[in-house]
Amino acid sequence: MARRRSINEIVPDLNRELNSAWNGFIKQVSTDLATDRNKGGVSPAYTGFFASSWKASLTPNAPTDRVQDYPTWYKIKKQRDKKLPAQPKIKPRFTVGTFKITDTVYIGNKVEYAIYALESPDISSYVQGQLRGLIRNTFRERQTVIVGFKDIRYTQGGAL
């Protein structure tokens, strides 16, 4: 049986659903970017530092972080530079916050060499291809319901 709600509740309910979809989308993009392109993911991963350094925020992300300042990844870099075997370590450094649908959210990379790593064709392919599909899937109009309103019936008086 459908829940009955006043038509006055449709705007707050819709905002809640849109905010939920927006946050899910941002988390999915952040998760996708933190994957190794050599294993079917998106980001180049020589050490894993770049793939671990994606950040979603309300302001643009300045690329300032140096691998030398992070011992876990710097050790991997030194080994790889010497042609010694070492596996990249991908461990996202930033948690994804909660945003409102009206927020402009910047997803950028914090490493100082980000401008060079962003030349990766895998990142361009993700942004121009997969990201479009993710947007369409997340924010598409549903045929029978609006976002998640399957079991709610809105009426002007609050009852059917």
Q: How many CB atoms lie within 10 A of CB 71?
A: 9
pLDDT of 47 higher than 50: yes
Asked whether the CA dihedral 57, 63, 65, 67 is positive or negative, the reply is positive
Phi first, then psi: give them for residue 80, nearest 5 degrees: -65, -40
Least confident range of 17-21, 54-58, 108-112: 17-21
Can you give the pLDDT at residue 153? Answer: 57
Q: What are phi and psi of 125, to 5 degrees?
A: -60, -40
Mean pLDDT for the stretch of residues 102-113: 96
- Report the pLDDT value the prediction gives residue 159, as an integer from 0 to 100: 42
Give the residue extent of every domain in the chain.
3-155
Confidence of residue 17 (pLDDT cuts 50, 70, 90): confident
Alpha-carbon gap, residue 117 to 5, rounded angstroms: 51
Confidence of residue 7 (pLDDT cuts 50, 70, 90): confident
* pLDDT, position 27: 97
With 50 as the cut, is the pLDDT of residue 116 above it? yes
Tell me the average pLDDT across 23-40: 95
Look up residue 44 and give its amino acid: P
Per-residue pLDDT at 147: 46
pTM: 0.82
Interhelix angle 10-33/131-139, nearest 10 degrees: 160
